[in-house]
Structure 1
Amino acid sequence: MASRCINNLGGQVLLMDVTPEQVNDYVRKHCREYYEMPPGFIFKDIRMLLKTPMLVGLQIRKKRVLLPFTKPCPGYGTMLYEVTAKEADLDFIRSNLVKVSE
């Protein structure tokens, strides 16, 4: 069963308590490659809690994934995490999500 805690991935919070539009704009500006992630998508055994589909971005040279998440806890809301990724993580996203970027 998938975990629900994004904290298990480590990484750092880039944006906190923002709108899905703010997350998507940030991903578009900071990533050449990004994909639409539906609510409930499971990445590294963590179910992504989202209210609407949002963009997940790949930073290939830095080996990072920009990952949106909505924490149900009061005071957190929608966030964007930057997590370190292995090549297998990038391939998993590429093969399981729909590419949005050019």
Structure 2
Amino acid sequence: MAAWRARAIEMYPSDFRDTSEDVRITLLAARCSSRRAEIADALVDLLVALADEINARAERGVEKQLTAELKKVRGKEGILAAAGRVPQCDSSGLSTAAVARTTGRCCRRC
């Protein structure tokens, strides 16, 4: 097959006209068969490259998302809301036990 293909590649179109019909059909069939295989191989290579690119983009997206998640502080909104509230002190100057344990003070005035 390789010899027929090599012979067909070297020939000019006018050379095909000078050969017998059986030889011409055989040469063209060999050339077409090998060319079809080359095209299929090239398409598979392109498909693999495309899949690799899609995979790389997906990995970058996941890494970006994980990095953003790691930067988040769990419960940050609740901590900020609790810190923003001014605890009310009773007559002895003590606030609720939960706030006192969290801040170490009874209120902002203390």
TM-score for the superposition, normalised by structure 2: 0.17
Structure index of larger Rg: 2
The structure with the greater share of residues assigned to helix is 2
The structure with the greater share of residues assigned to strand is 1
Ranked by relative contact order (alpha carbons within 8 Å, sequence separation 6 or more), the top structure is: 1
